[in-house]
């Protein structure tokens, strides 16, 4: 018997479909009332008119299947059996809410039901869904990920990137576009050259179907066809549910962009009116049945409101809770063997990737040209032939799409390494890094880890000009929820990746381009390296030179020149830019009483400025001179070699900066 044949319209099933829709409608009517009373705050996006979609699709999924929703997700959560009590408490922002009060109306999460949340970024959940499905594919599971989004998302890059990636890799995703005709206040015809959205997905080779989203039976039948197809083929399916929202985009919306008669016309053919009327006309349900459904739902809503009202506010003392996961014990480095070998920084990173994949079935690498090409900087050359295309994955040129997929795979239990070719390209993935990777744990109230590592080349020195040469790691070090590393030595390049892959949080690793060819010794027994502390690379008594990454070796050379002048400089390699090791920094400054920070980022708003501020806050009374800074010039990195060199810290400018702090 096919899954289609299992579609039945017996009395219990019909009552169930109607109950789902009425339950969503009445719950949201109560939410609208509570919003006017200012008990629910922020944005409130109601599903009124679209209930047939969630009600027809979600019950067809199994408990093992996953759901990614949009910001209009109350109905999806309720049909998925997220308890109404915890949903309502979340709307209030109470600690008993399904997201611990951290998410609110647009970010309902529930790990127990594989509900991966609403997403307030239009199109932002699409790459996440692809990543969840990728994890299932790689783990040999037959689960399906259902991803719901509005028609406004089809204009976003994430939509096209995800469609391509899902079809390319045959990912088991059910994409559901809830086309309600208006992206906020813009009618579809005013924003899209092609208004047949199912045709857009079909362009990528995805099996696509347009469905009457106001007909719950049609939605269920389409869902059964789609899910059966996904389970049989492993490939994605796209459903365009053509529907209409009866209420405003959000409760702030005055709806001046559409005619009231248009809304009333759609209301007359709404999903509840239509299905309930059909049942009544065919004597398949009685008034008493409807009354019973409504009475039971009203009682449930009353209980949910009481639960929320009685709920507690999370104490202010817990403000920083759920930003990072439980921190693992610091790794214990292996005892040195006494035998060393000379290798390049590039080879150290390559070994770390190879060993991680061989050590842990959950680890894989993906990025642009990491496989057949061997990586832009040849870091991964030969690894695809050694480890296979499943573990070394070439991606399309779609940074947001594959970075978001890495986030989803991590949330589903994998340990992805995402390579972004250069830091400038990472800005195309900034939405996913900032709005999903860094916030997923917090918004879900600690329900989801994101054990993801993102590697990227950074820095100048190779005459690649302004779009390939900047040092933006200080920007990322500004973001709570991330850990940011800048390994500068051979041992750190190998060992910090090992440690990062065992961390529960997203870790960004910045590899300076000028280090890849650098050679150095590494102990044959070298292993893990801690990722939370700075290292003193050269002790000194007169001034603390604080730096990281590509500037470390310049700073060490500068310290040697200063020693010839009688200035003993202590060199601190930060290694971790978030969190910063304040203790090591302040202890060093307390000894030397002077500090100079060397940072390849721009001076204004720089990481150097942050470190300087912390020294002033925690070590001001130790200082005998103002903190100095040597940073990149306030220009885009130029192409000519002499200008490029002048734009970033060099040994000479570091020496001059130290002399200035010393008053010489």
**Which residues have a catalytic role annotated?**
399, 468
Q: Are 93 and 101 within 8 A, CB to CB?
A: yes
Q: How many CB atoms are closer than 10 A to CB 267?
A: 14
CA distance 429 to 402: 9
Q: Are 510 and 549 within 8 A, CB to CB?
A: yes
Is 551 in a helix, a strand, or coil?
helix
Q: What is the DSSP letter of 152?
A: G
Please give the C-alpha separations between residue 44 and each of 20, 95, 146, 247, 254, in angstroms, as whole numbers: 20, 19, 23, 11, 13
Q: How many residues does this entry show for the chain?
A: 664
Please give the C-alpha separations between residue 573 and each of 554, 603, 611, in angstroms, as whole numbers: 12, 19, 13
Strands 173-179 and 207-212: unpaired
Q: Are 174 and 227 within 8 A, CB to CB?
A: yes
CA distance 272 to 203: 33
CA distance 87 to 100: 10
CA distance 202 to 205: 5
Q: Which residue is associated with the tokens 């449930």?
A: 300
| Order of strands across the sheet that contains 415-420 | 392-394, 363-367, 415-420, 453-458, 507-512, 483-485, 576-578
Angle between helices 345-359 and 490-500 (to 10 degrees): 30
456 class by beta-carbon count within 10 Å (0-12 exposed, 13-18 middle, 19+ buried): buried
Of the candidates 443, 431, 552, the residue with the CA atom closest to the CA atom of residue 487: 552
Angle at 215 (CA atoms; ends 209, 216), nearest 5 degrees: 95
Please give the C-alpha separations between residue 451 and each of 336, 444, 499, in angstroms, as whole numbers: 29, 15, 11
Q: Which residue is associated with the tokens 């040697």?
A: 560
Of the candidates 497, 500, 511, the residue with the CA atom closest to the CA atom of residue 457: 511
Angle at 209 (CA atoms; ends 203, 213), nearest 5 degrees: 130
What is the sign of the dihedral through the CA atoms of 545, 546, 552 and 554?
negative
What are the structure tokens assigned to 72, written together?
A: 């209009």
Phi-psi region of 460 (alpha: psi -120 to 50; beta: other; left: phi over 0): beta
What are the structure tokens assigned to 227, written together?
A: 């899910």
Counting DSSP H helices and E strands in the chain, the numbers are: 25, 21
Task: Collect all residues with Cβ–Cβ distance below 8 Å to 498 and sequence separation of at least 6.
Answer: 331, 352, 355, 356, 527, 528, 529
Q: How many CB atoms are closer than 10 A to CB 551?
A: 30
Strand ranges (E), 533-627:
535-538, 543-547, 569-573, 576-578, 595-602
515 class by beta-carbon count within 10 Å (0-12 exposed, 13-18 middle, 19+ buried): buried
């Amino acid at each position: 018997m096919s899954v289609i044949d299992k579609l039945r319209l017996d009395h219990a099933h019909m009552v169930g479909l109607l109950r789902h829709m009425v339950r969503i409608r009445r719950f949201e009517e109560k939410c609208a009332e509570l919003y006017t009373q200012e008990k629910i705050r922020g944005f409130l996006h109601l599903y009124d008119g679209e209930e047939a979609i969630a009600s027809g699709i979600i019950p067809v999924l199994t408990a093992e299947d996953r759901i990614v929703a949009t910001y209009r997700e109350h109905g999806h959560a309720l049909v998925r059996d997220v308890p109404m009590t915890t949903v309502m408490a979340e709307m209030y922002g109470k600690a008993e809410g399904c997201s611990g009060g951290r998410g609110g109306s647009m970010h309902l999460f529930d790990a127990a039901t594989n509900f991966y949340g609403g997403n307030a970024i239009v199109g932002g959940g699409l790459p996440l869904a692809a990543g969840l499905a990728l994890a299932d594919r790689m783990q040999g599971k037959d689960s399906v990920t259902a991803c719901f989004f509005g028609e406004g998302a089809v204009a976003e890059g994430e939509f096209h990137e995800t469609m391509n990636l899902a079809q390319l890799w045959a990912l088991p995703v059910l994409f559901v576009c809830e086309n309600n005709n208006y992206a906020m206040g813009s009618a579809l015809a005013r924003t899209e050259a092609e208004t047949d959205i199912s045709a857009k997905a079909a362009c990528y080779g995805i099996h696509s179907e347009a469905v009457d989203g106001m007909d719950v039976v049609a939605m269920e039948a389409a869902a059964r066809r789609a899910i059966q197809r996904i389970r049989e083929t492993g490939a994605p399916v796209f459903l365009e549910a053509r529907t209409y929202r009866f209420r405003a985009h959000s409760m702030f919306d005055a709806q001046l962009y559409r005619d009231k008669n248009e809304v009333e016309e759609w209301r007359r053919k709404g999903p509840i009116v239509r299905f309930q009327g059909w049942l009544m006309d065919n004597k398949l349900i009685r008034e008493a049945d409807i009354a019973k459904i409504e009475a039971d739902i009203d009682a449930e809503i009353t209980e949910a409101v009481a639960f929320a009202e009685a709920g507690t506010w999370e104490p202010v003392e817990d403000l920083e809770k759920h930003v990072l996961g439980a921190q693992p014990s610091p790794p214990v480095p292996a005892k040195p063997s006494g035998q060393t070998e000379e290798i390049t920084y590039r080879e150290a990173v390559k070994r770390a990737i190879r060993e991680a994949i061989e050590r842990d079935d959950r680890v894989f690498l993906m990025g642009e040209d990491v496989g057949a090409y061997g990586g832009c900087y040849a870091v991964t050359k030969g690894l695809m032939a050694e480890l296979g295309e499943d573990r070394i994955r070439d991606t399309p040129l779609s940074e947001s799409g594959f970075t978001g997929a890495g986030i989803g795979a991590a949330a589903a239990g994998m340990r992805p390494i995402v390579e972004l070719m250069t830091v400038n390209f990472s800005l195309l993935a900034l939405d996913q890094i900032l709005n999903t990777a860094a916030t997923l744990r917090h918004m879900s109230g600690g329900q989801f880890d994101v054990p993801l590592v993102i590697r990227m080349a950074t820095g100048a020195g190779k005459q690649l000009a302004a779009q390939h040469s900047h040092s933006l790691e200080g920007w990322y070090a500004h973001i709570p929820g991330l850990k940011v590393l800048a390994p500068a030595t051979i041992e750190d390049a190998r060992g910090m990746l090992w440690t990062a892959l065992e961390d529960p949080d997203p870790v960004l690793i910045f590899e300076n381009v000028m280090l890849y060819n650098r050679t150095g010794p590494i102990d044959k027994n070298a292993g893990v390296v801690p990722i939370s502390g700075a290292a003193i690379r050269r002790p000194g008594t007169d001034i603390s030179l604080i730096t990281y990454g590509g500037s470390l070796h310049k700073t060490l050379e500068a310290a040697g020149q200063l020693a010839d002048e009688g200035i003993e400089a202590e060199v601190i390699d930060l290694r971790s830019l978030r969190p910063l090791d304040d203790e090591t920094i302040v202890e060093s400054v307390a000894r030397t009483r002077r500090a100079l920070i060397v940072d390849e980022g721009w001076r204004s708003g720089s990481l150097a400025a942050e470190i300087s501020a912390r020294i002033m806050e925690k070590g001001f009374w130790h200082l005998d001179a103002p903190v100095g800074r040597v940073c990149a010039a306030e220009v885009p990195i130029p192409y000519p070699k002499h200008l490029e060199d002048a734009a970033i810290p060099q040994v000479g400018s570091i020496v001059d900066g130290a002399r200035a702090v010393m008053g010489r």
